[in-house]
Structure 1
Amino acid sequence: MSRRGTAEEKKKTAKSDPIYRNRLVNMLVNRILKHGKKSVAFQILYRAMKKIQQKKERNPQKQKKKRKPQKKEQKKERNPQKKERNPLSVLRQAIRRVTPVIAVKTRRGKKGSARQVPIEIGPKQGKVLAIRWLLGAARKRQGRNMAFKLSSELMDAVKGKGGAIRKKEETRKMAEANRSFAHFVNP
């Protein structure tokens, strides 16, 4: 009789964090985590979320001072700002923008040649890749501290630019270039 248990029992579900009560935040904290210091990882993420909220509150004031939009434009701009003020929605939107649909895996072909084979990615794996790319791009950024770099990277991802978006585009282009090897995928 096995003592290991079944695979169904071992599958872990991500717990939610204490402040935002969100699994996505906890997944991000677990990826930030270094040397078992989870409290430091929570501090980094919460500071980043606070900076996002502060940036979002400052931006509408700057826009009003620069120019006065017409009434139609003003109505259109109000709704997205209200939604984006919540740092959790900014985080969700950033991850949604960075999440890839397709990736490439290296497969050995005949005569020992390695080929980049494009494969489709499920939503869970896509989310994991998006978090990994966001944190990798944030760590590579020049800046003061990790919270500042992470908040900047999340804001850039929402705007459609930044290192994580660049990584997603590179992966997509690589998959597009190697589309002819798509039949090598093992079922």
Structure 2
Amino acid sequence: MSRRTTAKKRLSLPDPVYNSRLISMLSVRILQQGKKHLAQRIIYQALEIIKTKTNEDPLNILETAIRKVTPLVEVKAKRIGGSTYQVPMEVRAFRGTNLALRWITKFSRERSGKSMPIKLANEIMDSANETGNSIRKREETHRMAEANKAFAHYRF
């Protein structure tokens, strides 16, 4: 890590089919062993499944799912005077989006089902309908922050 300048944030290029940065960010989260084309194919198949099941724009459903999964607060461990406190912190927009994408991919991998596109499509649709494991994870994060709100004055 350089001591002179801070690293500039690199924005990812939009994906070729939907021209959306959100889909390219999701493809990076699904990516395994450098197989980007396979990750993109999984996402496009999942979006087609969403389109056939709901008869709506799959990009809008994906955006609403990510918006509903994005946490507003989280807890961070801060060490003060020999003891560690779970301090609630507000989540910035970019980190919130990253957490939402990470949770959606994690819980879609853990789902039982035939193939990854079906599991991803089901997790996205569940998140858009405010059910599913990723929504439960967001609620759990909010509960942790609420329980530790007494330590909010340790915020840095």
TM-score normalised to structure 2 length: 0.94
Query: More helix per residue: 1 or 2?
Result: 1
Cα distance change on mapping 1:53 and 1:91 into 2, 3 Å: same
- What amino acid is the match of 1:46? Y
User: C-alpha separation between the residues in 1 aligned to 2:121 and 2:3?
Assistant: 41
- Correspondence 1:138 to 2:138: no
**1:107, distance to aligned residue in structure 2 (A):** 1.4
**1:4, distance to aligned residue in structure 2 (A):** 10
Give the length in aligned residue pairs: 155
Q: Which runs of 4+ in 1 moved over 6 A?
A: none
Matches for 1:69-84 after TM superposition, within 5 Å = none
Q: Identity of paired residues, percent?
A: 45
User: C-alpha separation between the residues in 2 aligned to 1:182 and 1:145?
Assistant: 43
Residue of structure 2 aligned with 1:183, choices 133, 153, 156:
153
Residue of structure 2 equivalent to 1:19: 17
Query: Unaligned regions of 5+ residues in structure 2, if any?
Result: none
1:16-51 deviation line (CA, Å, top 9, x unaligned): 000000000000001110100001100110010010
- Correspondence 1:118 to 2:116: no
Residue of structure 2 equivalent to 1:54: 52
User: C-alpha separation between the residues in 1 aligned to 2:80 and 2:5?
Assistant: 35
**1:131, distance to aligned residue in structure 2 (A):** 0.5
- What amino acid is the match of 1:24? L
Residue of structure 2 equivalent to 1:127: 97
User: C-alpha separation between the residues in 2 aligned to 1:38 and 1:131?
Assistant: 16
Residue of structure 2 equivalent to 1:165: 135
TM-score normalised to structure 1 length: 0.79
**1:152, distance to aligned residue in structure 2 (A):** 0.2
User: C-alpha separation between the residues in 1 aligned to 2:152 and 2:109?
Assistant: 33
